[in-house]
Structure 1
Amino acid sequence: MNGAVRAFSARTGEHLWTFDTLVREPADDPESSAGHVGGANAWINFSWDSERDLVFIPTSSPAPNFYGGKRPGDNRYANSVIVLRAATGELVWHYQVLHHDLWDWDLPTNPILAEITRDGEKVPVAMQLTKQGMIFTFHRYTGEPFFEIEERPVPTDGLPEDDVSPTQPFPVKPPPLVKHGIAPEDAWGLTPYDRNQCRELIESMRYGPIYTPPTLEFTLMMPNVGGGMNWGGGAFDPASNILVTPVGQSPYRLRLIPNEEIDPVAGRLPTAGLPIGPPGYIEGTDYGLEQGPLFSPFMMPCTAPPWAKLVAVDMAAGEILWEQPLGLVDKLAPVPIPFRWGTPYAGGPIATGGGLVFIGATADERFRAYDTETGELLWEFEGPTSANATPMTYMAGGKQYVVVATGGHNWVYPFKKGDSLIAYSLPD
C-alpha cells in the first residue's frame, strides 16, 4: 500500500519527482507484508505557498487501522504535515501530530496558510486542524511551533504485541476544542432511565483519557473516529486573527476480535468492520474490528449535547472566543423537537471580509450565517436538503454571492438526496 506523493508537469504530463511517505529500510522484505502494511497516503487536499514554492501535505493513518502490531515504531510521515519544495520534491520540514495511530485519526483537512498578527508582527503560519479537536500551528517556512507543543504521557495498555507510543504531542495553545476522554459521570440521557443505562454501558467498557488504546475489550473513544474536526476544516479571518471551525463530540466504542471469532460470511460483507456494521476482518492481521457510536436505548449519544459545535479561536492569543451548538435535531429525533443540540456534519465554513461566517454542513437542511467576532446567529435558511459541503463566495455585477452545493450525504444525512447549487445574496 504505497502512499507516495508524485508530481507531474501540467503542460506535458512528465513525471517530475516522487516523495515516498513510507520509510524503507534495506533489510525490509518487500513481499512479507506489502499488501497490508503501508498507508500514510495524502487523501485530502494540499495547500500551496506560491511565493516560497512550498506544498503542504497532510497525511493519513498508517495501515492497517486500529492495530499496529505489524508496523512498529512511530510510523514516521503518517499523521503528519509534510512540507516539500514544489519544484523538486525536496523535504523542507515535517511534523507528526500523532504517533503510531491506533484510532483512525488521520489528518482530515489541509493546513490553513495565513498570517497571524502578534505583537504588531505578521507571522506566516500553517494551522493544522485534527480529528482530536486540536490545532497545531507552525511557522510556515521553518516548522517551528507558533505555540509550544508538549509530548505528554498517554495510556499504553493496549495489546501486548502492539508498540503503543508512550507519549503524544499536545499543543499548549489553543486548548482542545472538544472534550477529551470519557468516564461514567459523563453519562447523559433524556430521562433517568436512559442516563442510567448509559452509565452502565460506560462502566462495562474500558474508558479513560484520550489515546486509550484498543484491545479485545470494548474501548471508548472521545472524540470519535470522525472527530473533532473533519472534512472542510475551518475558515480564518485575517483582519481579526479569528479561526472558526465546526467540531463534533460524541462517544464511540470499538474492539479488536480474534479472526476465529468472526462470522466468515458476515465478516466479508461490504459493511463489515464499519460503524454499526458486523465485525469485519483487518486484512493481514490476526484480528477483526467492531466499532460504532455509543447510543442510549433511545438512539441518542450517551454524553451530553451539544454533539456538534461551531467554535471560534483567537489565533494570536490561542484562546477560545465563543462556541455555539451547530445544528437542530428536529430532522433526526423520533419527534421533531427543535433543540440546538448539534448534529452530525460534513463540510466547512467560509469567512467573508464583512465579518460573517457562512456554513451548511449539518444534518438539518439549514444554511447559516454567524457574526465572526461574537458568534451571534444572524440568519438561517432551510433548503431542500442538507448542504453537506463547504460554500464559496464570488462577485458578479458588483454584487457578492454565496453559493453552496445542497445534496445530502450518504452517512451524515441519507434521508433526502438532492442535486442543487443554491446561491444567496443580499436584496438589491
Structure 2
Amino acid sequence: MLINLTAILFLIIAIALGIGGSWLVALGGSWYYIIAGIGFFLTAIFLFRRSAAALWIYALVILGSLGWAIYEVGFDWWQLGTRGGVIVLLGLWLLIPWIWRRTGGVLPLAIAVLASLAVAGYSIFQDPYDIEGSLPTEQVAANPDLGGNVPPGDWHQYGRTPYGQRYSPLNQITPENVGGLQVAWTYQTGDIKQPEDVGETTYQVTPLKVRDTLYLCTPHNWAIALDAATGREKWKYDPNVGFNPDRQHQTCRGVTYYADPAATPGQPCAERVYLPTSDARLIALDAANGQVCTSFADNGALHLEEGMPYNPAGYYYSTSPPVAVAGKIIVGGAVNDNYSIHEQSGVIRAFDINTGALIWNWDSGNPEQTAPLPPGQKYTANSPNSWSVSSVDENLGLVYVPLGNKVPDQLGMDRSENVEKYSSSIVALDINTGQVRWVRQTVHHDLWDMDVPAQPVLLDITGEDGTVVPALVGPTKQGDIYVLDRRTGEPIIPIKEVPAPGGAIPEDFTAPTQPVSGLSFEPPPLTEKDMWGITLFDQLACRIEFHRLKYEGRYTPPSLEGTIVYPGNFGVFNWGSVAVDPVRQVMFGMPTYLAFTSKLVPRSEVPPPSEGTKGSEQGLNRNEGAPYAVLLNPFLSPLGIPCEAPPWGYVAGADLRTGKIAWKHRNGTTRDMTPIPLPFKVGVPGIGGPMITASGVVFLGATVDDYIRAYDLTTGKQLWEARLPAGGQATPMTYAMEDGRQYVVIVAGGHGSVGTKPGDYVIAYTLPDNQ
C-alpha cells in the first residue's frame, strides 16, 4: 500500500513537472523540468512494478538535478536548496526499509543522497555574493567640515547637520566595547496604529537632540519633547490631524529646530520646533513648552494648500522636516502617487521663518517665476515634487532638493519640457531667490517611479593631488550613487550614458540612453536561473512568469502584457539615504534588491472604484484621468515570497575618493518574515538609514526583522545587535550628555508597507558605568 501511494505521488509530480516544464520550454526556458518529469514518471512506473530500476532511475534524477543546480548557481546553498530540497527529501523517503526492501537498488540511491547532502553541507559555508574587504582607515581630513555649528554631543537636524552626513564626532562607543550596550530608557509615545489608518502608517522619525532635550514627531504628527538623560516626557502637542483614507502615507520623518538669533534667551518662542503635518500644515511650537507660536503665519500654522490648483484634502502634505536656513524655512511636499492626474503642484517654497510670509517659490513646471505668485495665480498642477529631505550649504548659498515625477509615474505622455528636465533629479536652488543654479537628472523620461528618494549628503572630498572639492553624494532608487561637485553639479566620479531598452506603448516613448554613475550598486540583470521559490514547483512558476513578462534589463518600459521592474520602485536606496564619514571620506549604505512588476491597464478595462478604495503604491493604481491605470506589485511566487533569489538586502561600504566598493555583506534574517521564527541570515529587505560615529561604529535598524545592529565601518562585520519590540524602520541617532555618556536612540514603531510589527517605542542605549 505504502509503495503504491509513493508511486502515485511520484506520478503526480511527474505530471506537474511535465505540464509546467512544457510551458516553460515553449516560452524559451530550461528543459530540465521536462527531463526531471520523465525521471519521476519512470520512477513511478517501476515503483508500481516493485522493480529495483525505480531507485536506480531516481538516483540518476538526484545526481542529474545536483549537476544541473551546480551548473546554474554554483554552491549557493539558498538556491541549491530550492532546486534539490524536495528531490532529496523524496530520495530519503525511498530509502526507508518499507520501500527499498520491496524493490532493491538501495546502494546507488544512497550514494546519490549522500552526495547531495555533502554538497549541501559544503555550500552552507559558502557565500558567492559576499565581498570581503576593508575601507581605508586613513584620516584624510583632520578637521572636516561637518556643516553647521552643532555641538559634538547634539543632533540638530534630520541628518545631524545641514549636510545630512548622519555622522557624529562622538567616540565613547567603539568597536571594542559596543557589545556592552544596554537599554538606558524606553519611552512609549501612545500614538499607535488605529483601525481607521491607511495601510502605510509608519514610524520613520529620527529625533533631534538640543542640549538636554530630544524632539520628535509621531505618525499622527504629535510633537514630543523628552529629557535626553531619562526619557521622561517634557511636553506633547497633538495637532489633531484626524483620519483621512485619501492620504497615501501617515508618517512624520522629523521636526525642524530653530533658534532665533535676535530673540532674548528665555523669551517665548526664542527657540522653536516646526512640525509638518499630514493635513498640509506647518506649525511653529515653542521648544521650551510645546505652546503654539502664534506670531508665525496664521496663528501659528502655515497652510500649505495656499496657491495650489486643487484642494482635495489628503492629496498633499509634508512627510519630511523642512530646511531652516538664513531666516527662511524651505518646504516641499508629497503628493499621492498615481491617484489622479489632478494632483497638487510640487512647488518648493521659502517662507520667513519668523512670520511665515512667502519669500520665494520654485515650481519645476514654471521654474523661472520664483517671486511670490500674485493673488489669483496658481502653481503648476502635477509638477514634480520633493517628498524627501533636502540638504543645504549656507556658505555656497544653495539648498539641494531631491525631486520625483509627475503623476502618473509610469506614463510619460503630455509631459512638458520643464517636467522632462527636472523629473527624477537633484536640483540646486539659490537660498535667497529660489533660482536654479544647476540640475542633475538621474533618469531620463522616468517611467518607473525612480524618484530621487534620499537626502543628498554633503562633504568635502580630497583628490589624489590634494585638491579639496565640495561634494554631494546622491543615492538613487536604481542603485547609482552620484558623487558631484556641489558647486556646479558636475561629476567627480564619472557618469556615462548607456543604451536603454525601447518598446514603449505607441502613445509614449523611451529615452535612448540612461545615465549610470561610476559608483553603482545596480544589480546584474535578472535571468531565468535567478528565479527562486521555497520548492521546485513555485520556482518553476516563477520561471514561467519571468518569461511571460517583458524584461530586457533595467529600464524596460511598462507594458500591457506586464513588465519586470528591477531594481523595483522600492529602491536600492530610499529615504534612509547613506551615511558618510567626512574624516575618512567613505560611505556606508544598505542596498536592497526587490523586483516589482508593472502592467498597464486600459481605462476601458479598469473596474469602477468600490466604496472606500483609492489608488496606492501596490495593487491597482487608478490614475484617474489618464488613459491607463497601472498594476504595481512585488514580483512574488505563488507562495508569496520574492521570485528573485536572495540576498535581498546588504550592508555595503564604498570609498568616495575612488568610487570603489570595498565590501558588501548579507544583512538581516528571516526571523520575522515567516510564521516560524527561524533566524536564517539570507539578507532581507529594509527601509531606513544608517548612522556613523567617529570611532568607526555604524548603527542601523531598517531590516524587516526587528533588530538594531552595530557594524564595523572598516569591514562591515556585525558587532552587536539588540531585539526591538517593533519594526525599526527609522534612522538611529546618537548624542552625549554633559557627563560625557554617549547614547544611541532608535524609534521602533513598524512600517505599514513592509509589514513589520507596529509599536510606539523610543529606545535609548548606553554603555554600563564600568565601561
Whether these two folds match at TM > 0.5 is yes
Counterpart residue number, 1:149? 495
Q: Secondary structure at the match of 2:483?
A: strand
Q: Offset of 1:223 from its aligned partner?
A: 0.9
Q: Give the whole-Å Cα distance in 1 for the aligned partners of 2:653 and 2:569.
A: 22
Q: Give the whole-Å Cα distance in 2 for the aligned partners of 1:303 and 1:152.
A: 25
Q: Report % sequence identity.
A: 38
Counterpart residue number, 2:646? 305
Deviation string, structure 1 residues 340-370 (Cα, Å, up to 9, x no partner): 1233322100010010110011111100000
Q: 1:263 aligns with which of 584, 603, 607?
A: 607
Q: Give the whole-Å Cα distance in 1 for the aligned partners of 2:626 and 2:472.
A: 37
Matched pairs, number:
415
Which structure dedicates a bigger proportion of its chain to helix? Answer: 2
Question: Which residue type is aligned with residue 508 of structure 2?
Answer: D
1:112 counterpart = 2:454: no
1:186 counterpart = 2:527: no
Q: Offset of 1:138 from its aligned partner?
A: 0.6
Counterpart residue number, 2:440? 95
User: Contact between 1:177 and 1:311, CA under 8 Å: does it hold in 2?
Assistant: no
Q: Offset of 1:216 from its aligned partner?
A: 0.6
User: Contact between 1:216 and 1:256, CA under 8 Å: does it hold in 2?
Assistant: yes
Q: Give the whole-Å Cα distance in 1 for the aligned partners of 2:432 and 2:380.
A: 32
Deviation string, structure 1 residues 216-256 (Cα, Å, up to 9, x no partner): 11100111111110021110012222111112102211100
1:77 counterpart = 2:422: yes
Q: Secondary structure at the match of 1:196?
A: helix
- Of stretches 334-343 and 51-60 in structure 1, the one that deviates more from structure 2 is 334-343
Once the two structures are superposed, the pairs formed by residues 25-424 of structure 1 within 5 Å of their partners are 38-71=382-415, 75-119=420-464, 120-171=466-517, 173-174=518-519, 176-266=520-610, 270=613, 272=615, 274-275=617-618, 277=619, 279-396=620-737, 397-414=739-756, 416-424=757-765
Q: Residues 183 and 103 (structure 1 numbering): CA distance in 2 closer, same or farther, change over 3 Å?
A: same
Q: Offset of 1:12 from its aligned partner?
A: 2.4
Q: Residues 122 and 21 (structure 1 numbering): CA distance in 2 closer, same or farther, change over 3 Å?
A: same
Question: Which residue type is aligned with residue 423 of structure 2?
Answer: A
User: Contact between 2:579 and 2:692, CA under 8 Å: does it hold in 1?
Assistant: yes
Counterpart residue number, 1:7? 350
Q: Secondary structure at the match of 2:604?
A: helix
Q: Offset of 1:335 from its aligned partner?
A: 2.5
Q: Give the whole-Å Cα distance in 2 for the aligned partners of 1:111 and 1:344.
A: 22
Q: Secondary structure at the match of 2:537?
A: helix
Q: Secondary structure at the match of 1:265?
A: coil
User: Contact between 1:314 and 1:321, CA under 8 Å: does it hold in 2?
Assistant: yes
Question: Which residue type is aligned with residue 12 of structure 1?
Answer: T
Question: Which residue type is aligned with residue 291 of structure 1?
Answer: L
Q: Give the whole-Å Cα distance in 2 for the aligned partners of 1:227 and 1:127.
A: 16
Q: Give the whole-Å Cα distance in 1 for the aligned partners of 2:649 and 2:514.
A: 25
Q: Secondary structure at the match of 1:260?
A: helix
User: Contact between 1:180 and 1:223, CA under 8 Å: does it hold in 2?
Assistant: no
Question: Which residue type is aligned with residue 78 of structure 1?
Answer: S
Question: Which residue type is aligned with residue 335 of structure 1?
Answer: I
User: Contact between 1:222 and 1:252, CA under 8 Å: does it hold in 2?
Assistant: yes
Deviation string, structure 1 residues 84-122 (Cα, Å, up to 9, x no partner): 110122221111111111111101111000112221333
Q: Offset of 1:36 from its aligned partner?
A: 10
Q: Give the whole-Å Cα distance in 1 for the aligned partners of 2:427 and 2:550.
A: 34
Q: Give the whole-Å Cα distance in 2 for the aligned partners of 1:187 and 1:134.
A: 24
Q: Give the whole-Å Cα distance in 2 for the aligned partners of 1:36 and 1:194.
A: 47
User: Contact between 1:273 and 1:288, CA under 8 Å: does it hold in 2?
Assistant: no
Q: Secondary structure at the match of 2:493?
A: coil
Q: Offset of 1:14 from its aligned partner?
A: 2.0
Q: Give the whole-Å Cα distance in 2 for the aligned partners of 1:362 and 1:57.
A: 27
Q: Residues 36 and 328 (structure 1 numbering): CA distance in 2 closer, same or farther, change over 3 Å?
A: farther
Q: Offset of 1:273 from its aligned partner?
A: 5.2
Q: Give the whole-Å Cα distance in 1 for the aligned partners of 2:437 and 2:363.
A: 14
Q: Secondary structure at the match of 1:181?
A: coil
Q: Secondary structure at the match of 1:195?
A: helix
User: Contact between 1:306 and 1:341, CA under 8 Å: does it hold in 2?
Assistant: yes
Q: Secondary structure at the match of 1:104?
A: coil
Q: Secondary structure at the match of 1:75?
A: helix
Q: Give the TM-score, by structure 1 length.
A: 0.92
Q: Which one has the largest radius of gyration?
A: 2
Question: Which residue type is aligned with residue 369 of structure 1?
Answer: A
Q: Give the whole-Å Cα distance in 2 for the aligned partners of 1:21 and 1:68.
A: 16
Following TM superposition, where does structure 1 have runs of at least 4 consecutive aligned residues deviating by more than 6 angstroms?
34-37
Q: Residues 36 and 249 (structure 1 numbering): CA distance in 2 closer, same or farther, change over 3 Å?
A: farther
Q: Secondary structure at the match of 1:63?
A: coil
Q: Offset of 1:183 from its aligned partner?
A: 2.6
Deviation string, structure 1 residues 180-237 (Cα, Å, up to 9, x no partner): 5323232122332222221111011111210000011110011111111002111001
Question: Which residue type is aligned with residue 407 of structure 1?
Answer: G
- Of stretches 66-75 and 294-303 in structure 1, the one that deviates more from structure 2 is 66-75
| CA RMSD after TM alignment | 2.1
Question: Which residue type is aligned with residue 327 of structure 1?
Answer: G
Question: Which residue type is aligned with residue 422 of structure 1?
Answer: I
Q: Offset of 1:11 from its aligned partner?
A: 2.1
Q: Give the whole-Å Cα distance in 1 for the aligned partners of 2:524 and 2:423.
A: 22
Q: Give the whole-Å Cα distance in 2 for the aligned partners of 1:180 and 1:272.
A: 31
Q: Give the whole-Å Cα distance in 2 for the aligned partners of 1:19 and 1:265.
A: 35
Q: Residues 311 and 242 (structure 1 numbering): CA distance in 2 closer, same or farther, change over 3 Å?
A: same
User: Contact between 1:158 and 1:214, CA under 8 Å: does it hold in 2?
Assistant: yes
Q: Residues 210 and 35 (structure 1 numbering): CA distance in 2 closer, same or farther, change over 3 Å?
A: farther
User: Contact between 2:593 and 2:685, CA under 8 Å: does it hold in 1?
Assistant: no
Deviation string, structure 1 residues 127-165 (Cα, Å, up to 9, x no partner): 110000110111011211101111221012011111321
Question: Which residue type is aligned with residue 458 of structure 2?
Answer: L
Q: Give the whole-Å Cα distance in 2 for the aligned partners of 1:197 and 1:164.
A: 30
Q: Secondary structure at the match of 2:422?
A: coil
User: Contact between 1:344 and 1:362, CA under 8 Å: does it hold in 2?
Assistant: yes
Counterpart residue number, 1:31? none
- Of stretches 302-311 and 368-377 in structure 1, the one that deviates more from structure 2 is 302-311
Q: Residues 36 and 54 (structure 1 numbering): CA distance in 2 closer, same or farther, change over 3 Å?
A: closer
Q: Offset of 1:23 from its aligned partner?
A: 4.4
Q: Secondary structure at the match of 1:76?
A: helix
Structure 1, unaligned runs of 5 or more: 26-33
User: Contact between 1:330 and 1:337, CA under 8 Å: does it hold in 2?
Assistant: yes
Counterpart residue number, 2:102? none
Counterpart residue number, 1:30? none
Q: Give the whole-Å Cα distance in 2 for the aligned partners of 1:114 and 1:121.
A: 14
